[in-house]
Structure 1
Amino acid sequence: MSEFRLTQISDTHLAHRLSKLTDNFHRVSEYIDATRPDLVVNSGDLAFDGPTQRDDLEFAKTLHSALPAPCRYLPGNHDIGDNPTQVGPPPSQPVTEQNLQAYRSIFGEDRWRFDAAGWCFIGLNSLIMNTGLASEAEQTDWLASQLASTAGKPVALFLHKPLYLNSPDNPELAATSIRYVPMPARSHLVEMFRAVDLRLVASGHVHQRRDFTFAHIRHIWAPSAAFIISSDARQEVIGIKEAGLVEYRFQPDGFEVRHIKAPGQIDVDLDSLLGTTKN
């Protein structure tokens, strides 16, 4: 295959009770039907509240199974719970092995690797990092074996949380630490990928579209396909606050990125949404 077309969606936050978010997903589905990529990757937060509402996970899987393209998935904090950081309070919904098993029973593996168009694609579960769970050690061992077999191919990494804000040594701040892969797991992960030709890190989670390069590695933050957090008091502007998706075209000698908003996709405001869906 000389070209591999991948569409990344993220933070779909699906639930039966949230029809506006389902409507946005249908607009994304129609766009995917029109463009027919080789693969769709959802980089996490498939469901609105997976840890306490298994129905949300099952509803999300039903809608993704109807997409007119093969899919791969990664868990987000709204699917399995959040990981601890070195600063700030512990997460209100910590990730657990039980939540992870529930996710796997519906969506399958929470990490993956495949090769296409001369590239190695790796998907990681960023929510178990820094937890001390058995699954974290298993993933680290698995990743080491995968990186040892890239055979010099360029590598694209997909995960829910961005690696960092601007550089690997950005300090963790109490107000923003939950947005990125936490320390010290971040440093260990960055060090592991130094052994390969990492070209792309694609993530979601922040609900903002961003595209920047650090040390020859391009970082793409996919926006939420579902909603935006419009209040700057709740979330400062880092990138662009809009609903959307990301398209990639990979060739053996490089890749192209297109930042897309599906026709009919609406910037649903989270605060307005929750104000109308309480109880």
Structure 2
Amino acid sequence: MSEFRLIQITDTHLSADFPQFVANFQRVCAFIDAAKPDLVINSGDLAFDGPGRPDDLAFARSLHDALPIACRYLPGNHDIGDNPTLVAPPPAQLISEQNRQAFVSVFGHDHWRFNAAGWCFIGLNSLIMNSGLACEEEQFDWLASQLAGLNGRPLALFIHKPLFLNAPDDPELAATSIRYVPMPARRRLIDLLDRVDLRLVACGHVHQRRDYTWRGVRHIWAPSSSFIIRPEDKQATIGVKEVGLVEYSFQPDSFKVHHSRAPGQTDIDLFSVITADGTARPQ
């Protein structure tokens, strides 16, 4: 295959309780159907509340199954719970093996690797990092073995959380620690990646579009397909607050990125559809 085309979507937050997010997803599906990429990757937060309402996971899977294109999936914090960090209290929904297994039972895997167009593509579960769960060490061992077998291929990494804000040694702050892969797992991951020809890190999680390069590696923050978080007191602006998706075209030793938006997608503000306790506002 001389060219490999994929579309990244993320943070779909699907639930039968939120038809507004489903409508945005259906517009994305129509875009994908017309574009006909080789693969779709959803880089996490497929469900609105997987840990609290497991039916959301099954609902999200049923909507993805309607796509005419093959999909690969990664878990997000709204699917399996969040990482513990060194600088903040444990999150309300903490990652657990039970939650991870619930995701795997619906979506098949929580990390993967494949090759296409001369590239290696690896997807990682970023939520188990820093957890101390057995699966964290197993994934690091698996990653090391996969990287050892690249045989010179350039690497594209897909992950739910950004590795960092601007640089690997960015200080962790309590207010934003859950936004990025936490220390010390971040340092261990980057040390492994420094040994290979990493060209791309593609993530989601922040609900903002961002595209920058650090030491030759392009970092793409894909926007949510579902909603934005508008108030500055709820989330500071880092990139561009808009919904959308990202298109990629890979050829041997090169790739292109196109930032896209499906016709009809709406920049829904999260707090216009949920109450303070996280439940749906009456329509």
- Give the aligned partner of residue 134 of structure 1: 134
- Give the aligned partner of residue 212 of structure 1: 212
Alignment gaps of 5+ in structure 1: none
Q: Distance in 1 between matches of 2:92 and 2:233?
A: 21
Q: Distance in 1 between matches of 2:106 and 2:145?
A: 26
**Paired residues for 1:180-191 under 5 Å:** 180-191=180-191
Kept in 1: contact 2:83–2:127 (CA 8 A) = yes
- Give the aligned partner of residue 146 of structure 2: 146
Q: Distance in 2 between matches of 1:244 and 1:263?
A: 10
3-state DSSP of counterpart to 1:268:
coil
- Give the aligned partner of residue 253 of structure 1: 253
3-state DSSP of counterpart to 1:33:
helix
TM-score by length of 1: 0.99
- Give the aligned partner of residue 267 of structure 1: 267
RMSD: 0.9
- Give the aligned partner of residue 18 of structure 1: 18
Deviations 1:105-155 (CA, angstroms, capped at 9, x unpaired): 000110000000000000000000000001101101100100000001000
Kept in 1: contact 2:119–2:253 (CA 8 A) = no
Q: Distance in 1 between matches of 2:84 and 2:231?
A: 25
Deviations 1:150-177 (CA, angstroms, capped at 9, x unpaired): 0010000000000000000000001111
Task: Read off the aligned partner of 1:52 and give its amino acid letter.
Answer: G
- Give the aligned partner of residue 280 of structure 2: 277
Q: Distance in 2 between matches of 1:133 and 1:253?
A: 36
What's the offset of the Cα at 1:253?
A: 2.2
Q: Distance in 1 between matches of 2:159 and 2:254?
A: 20
What's the offset of the Cα at 1:278?
A: 4.3
Q: Distance in 1 between matches of 2:150 and 2:194?
A: 13
3-state DSSP of counterpart to 2:78:
helix
- Give the aligned partner of residue 112 of structure 1: 112
* Equivalent residue pairs, number: 279
Alignment gaps of 5+ in structure 2: none
Q: Distance in 2 between matches of 1:121 and 1:277?
A: 37
Kept in 1: contact 2:14–2:59 (CA 8 A) = yes
- Give the aligned partner of residue 98 of structure 1: 98
- Give the aligned partner of residue 223 of structure 2: 223
Over the matched positions of the two proteins, sequence identity in percent amounts to: 67
Q: Distance in 1 between matches of 2:266 and 2:67?
A: 19
**Paired residues for 1:54-133 under 5 Å:** 54-133=54-133
- Give the aligned partner of residue 236 of structure 1: 236
- Give the aligned partner of residue 193 of structure 1: 193
Task: Read off the aligned partner of 1:209 and give its amino acid letter.
Answer: R
